[in-house]
Structure 1
């Protein structure tokens, strides 16, 4: 099904700067096409890519899917890969760079607050439901990694989304608060004081402090305690690097992140829900603990991709195939024309 290759494309060699294997390189009749778009969201310029199906006829009405990218990611990476594959299944899809990140506007750069990321998802829905040929009544949502946690939050109240799926969901608030795998529980108060001081410095006109941006050597990457981070550096800095993608975020963002949790009031989700994660992902605990809390929907499934780690679901062909093998029938079943 997929034509992803193990070696990703160099963004410099793709006219749309896409970095995933098998990416669209030009728009041709009878194939999936890509349309870079811009729109305003709360006064900020947002850049996005819209993918349209093969033999697209804007006089027809197509179901649409919003795709939310991972933390630190941009639309040209894994979010674009899945947006393209879903367009191959007949959906009009959109994936946008988060506000303050990537190619989208907002100062200071790399602000990463849950409220902004959730608003980005609402904003993509605003835009794509008004796009020519889109059936606003058949709108789905796919969130990947951090975008998965924010998609759960958006879908709690935004009932334009008729079906919700997550891939390798990452609960950003829990990890920033407790550490990965709850490894920093003992330092929460100390870190909150550091974050508060960073906010005070920023508001006083001092230097903006950042977290998450380290120029690590190969040896330092290999020594990281969690496979997700080791493979993440490989993906984001080497095989699928894009100049707009960065791990860093403002320290002051942690004031918001550390008091937030993707599972708060998750029972408000009453739409069909599909949560996908790799069986060997060290982030799997986030999906496994969120899923049973989604008691508001009777139509839900947790699917584990056998043998996959977190980052491998982003690009390894057999694992992308496995994810698409669940996403395709899920959206085909739930985004039907007569569904209310």
Structure 2
């Protein structure tokens, strides 16, 4: 059972889907899990898939569109702002604690790809989140800083952003770029063969996972805060909640395999576990039945023990 809802992040209306167990009884109290989508994604894609699976296990699951993205409010559109995305989590908790059928002491978070990085950062300072699960977690700040992997990639990115902001302040149209090639043909023309990019195009730009709320658009002039963002900053000190990390054994250019191990190693959590799904790539864990089933099996055990 799925309900379309909204909740407030300051003045913004955040669009979300609330997934309820099939035998939902409003007189009962349920554990709840907030599900966060990857960078460039939306609630109807992999975060919604995981939310639906968690509801089948008896949880209330909330999958939301990040502010400025998908069906959520926010101008300018296509903004990827770490501080706002982290605040989205806190506001999601604010909403859940108003629901009489949610047990406020049994609220967890689940983040996929960039949503996993944001979930980790949010959990460090949101003590109402009692357990953190991540699937192929990616540190978006690291990705922005590495760029083309040259020694001054971050500085060149910041210089470009500075020029764009000056131009836009003087009246130029905002520069909207793409995260990945816009089609399989464009990817082939560019000669890109990295498995993560290949499968990202397959997932986001073909019927496999394509959705209108995920248009592959990014406001580049708004990315300076992301360049200075570290999703795992202070994990050694502040991330004490139980932690489950799930990665695939097939690494790619987005770096979720190494980010997953970095998060696991840095977290202060006394109860933490990392699961490597053998033979699975980053995008296999978005929607491929066998890989997702293994992730859900691990998450079922984790949330059962910690919520």
TM-score, normalised with respect to structure 2: 0.94
Tell me, in whole angstroms, the C-alpha distance in 2 between the residues paired with 1:203 and 1:135: 47
Does residue 107 in structure 1 map to residue 79 in structure 2?
A: no
Does residue 202 in structure 1 map to residue 173 in structure 2?
A: no
Secondary structure in 2 aligned to 1:161?
A: coil
Worse-superposed segment, 187-196 or 89-98: 187-196
Worse-superposed segment, 278-287 or 325-334: 278-287
**Structure 2 counterpart of 1:263:** 232
Runs of 4+ in 1 over 6 A off after TM superposition: none
Picking from 286, 293, 316, the partner of 2:259 is 286
Picking from 263, 287, 305, the partner of 1:315 is 287
Does residue 303 in structure 1 map to residue 275 in structure 2?
A: yes
Tell me, in whole angstroms, the C-alpha distance in 2 between the residues paired with 1:115 and 1:225: 33
Aligned in 2, Cα 1:87/1:203: closer, same or farther, shift over 3 Å? same
Query: 1:233 Cα shift?
Result: 1.0
Aligned in 2, Cα 1:248/1:321: closer, same or farther, shift over 3 Å? same
Is this contact kept in 1: 2:33–2:110, CA < 8 A?
yes
Structure 2: gaps (5+ residues): none
TM-score, normalised with respect to structure 1: 0.85
Query: 1:54 Cα shift?
Result: 1.5
- List per-residue Cα deviations over 1:53-98 (Å, max 9, x = no partner): 1211111100000001101111111001000000011100101111
Structure 1: gaps (5+ residues): 1-32, 336-340
Query: 1:226 Cα shift?
Result: 2.1
**Structure 1 counterpart of 2:123:** 155
**Structure 2 counterpart of 1:221:** 187
The number of equivalent residue pairs is 300
Query: 1:210 Cα shift?
Result: 2.2
Picking from 212, 219, 227, the partner of 2:178 is 212
**Structure 2 counterpart of 1:328:** 300
- List per-residue Cα deviations over 1:283-312 (Å, max 9, x = no partner): 211112222111x21111111111000011
Secondary structure in 1 aligned to 2:152?
A: helix
Is this contact kept in 2: 1:196–1:252, CA < 8 A?
yes
Secondary structure in 2 aligned to 1:95?
A: strand
